[in-house]
Amino acid sequence: MKPKTLILMVVAVACGLGASYMTSRLLAERQQSADQETVTVLVARKNIDQGQPLKNFDDLFQDKAYIKGEEPRNAITKVEELKNKMLKRSLRAGDFITPEDLHSDKDAGIAWALSNGFRAIGIRVNMEASAAGFASLPMSRVDIMHTIRRGTDQDSFAHVLLQNVLVLAVDQQSNANNQGQAMPGHVVTVALKPEDVLKVQLAKELGPLSLALRKYGDTQMSDAIKVNAQGLLTGTGGRVDLEEPVELLPPVVKKTEVVVTQPLKNDPTHTMVIIEGDKSRKVPFATPGGGAPPVSQTEVNPVRPPTLPAPAPKKEGN
């Protein structure tokens, strides 16, 4: 046999023995892995922010298998352990979660009950303004009533500021497990949109607020109305239908000054300067006999200015 052929035969036998050894080792490792028990834990499917209520678990978490004994310590394995829970810390995609990373919604306070886009604000009330404490029940719905007292009965009124508002807590209690009993308190916390928070904040400076309890499930909205004091005193009911939102601040009344200049000699024509706010205008007029008018200064309503006589023509040559 030629030396070259012998060398090729030796190399082929060596390769065959090596392949057989590697195959047998791989099969042994697979068999060993199949015999080992695995544990499935929950890991974050995507980034999850701190304080986020845990809902839609399939969108937030996924299963990841570990060999038993090598799994993360105290890692949560069942979705049921995440129900009614919130995160104490943020999670990145692939992070596992433990009971120490969670707290219950009851321990989280009223923040868990706030919907996206809403804010919590406190309203100071008493027994009378909170329906003897029944309008202070957490998770109940109320209407916020507002009363404004102005200088006249016509301008003094009460109106419904906001309707179907969610009550979150009374004082420091947010638990509604008192079987419907009254919960009197000094401050009722409600959930409002940011623009409604501003309305309540301004209304508190202009007049007292009170709460009217709504029936559970009643979402019907009443027409925007207000009742003024004049109507109540005259027996007409005082209801005024509102086509526009209630104007909380009284209208600004501009003062109008009337200044009369001195007449020219032998000229019965005078010039009146009317100053309205930051603007002024001149109006010529004449008085019988050319004397100075009796009015030197007065205030008039700018909405209905006085009617002035037409100016007399000036005499030629003066």
- Give the pLDDT score at 304: 44
Q: Which of 59-63, 68-72, 115-119, 243-247 has the highest mean pLDDT?
A: 59-63
- Is residue 155 a contact partner of residue 123, using CB atoms and an 8 Å limit? no
pLDDT class of 1 with cuts at 50, 70, 90? low
Residue 297 to residue 258: CA distance in whole angstroms: 5
- Give the pLDDT score at 229: 84
Query: In terms of domains, do 138 and 163 share one?
Result: yes
Query: In terms of domains, do 149 and 268 share one?
Result: no
Q: Which two tokens stand for residue 85?
A: 């829970």
Q: Which domain does 175 fall in, by range?
A: 112-241
Computed over every residue of the chain, the mean pLDDT equals 76
Q: Which two tokens stand for residue 29?
A: 């490792």
- Is residue 234 a contact partner of residue 154, using CB atoms and an 8 Å limit? no
Last residue of one domain, picked from the residues 107, 123, 146: 107
Q: What is the pLDDT of residues 75-116, one digit of tens each?
A: 988 888 888 787 878 889 999 998 888 877 565 567 766 777
Q: Which two tokens stand for residue 173?
A: 């209690």
Query: In terms of domains, do 234 and 118 share one?
Result: yes
Residue 298 lies in a domain: yes
Query: In terms of domains, do 161 and 233 share one?
Result: yes
pLDDT class of 38 with cuts at 50, 70, 90? confident
Q: Which residue is listed with tokens 């001195």? A: 262
Query: In terms of domains, do 91 and 170 share one?
Result: no
Query: CA dist 139 to 16, 69, 110, 168, 214, Å?
Result: 77, 45, 10, 6, 11
Residue 276 lies in a domain: yes
Query: In terms of domains, do 136 and 227 share one?
Result: yes
More confidently predicted of 197 and 303: 197
Q: What is the pLDDT of residues 126-177, one digit of tens each?
A: 888 888 888 888 888 999 999 998 888 888 889 999 999 999 889 888 766 5
Residue 81 lies in a domain: yes
Task: Give the three-class secondary structure for 30.
Answer: helix
Query: In terms of domains, do 130 and 154 share one?
Result: yes
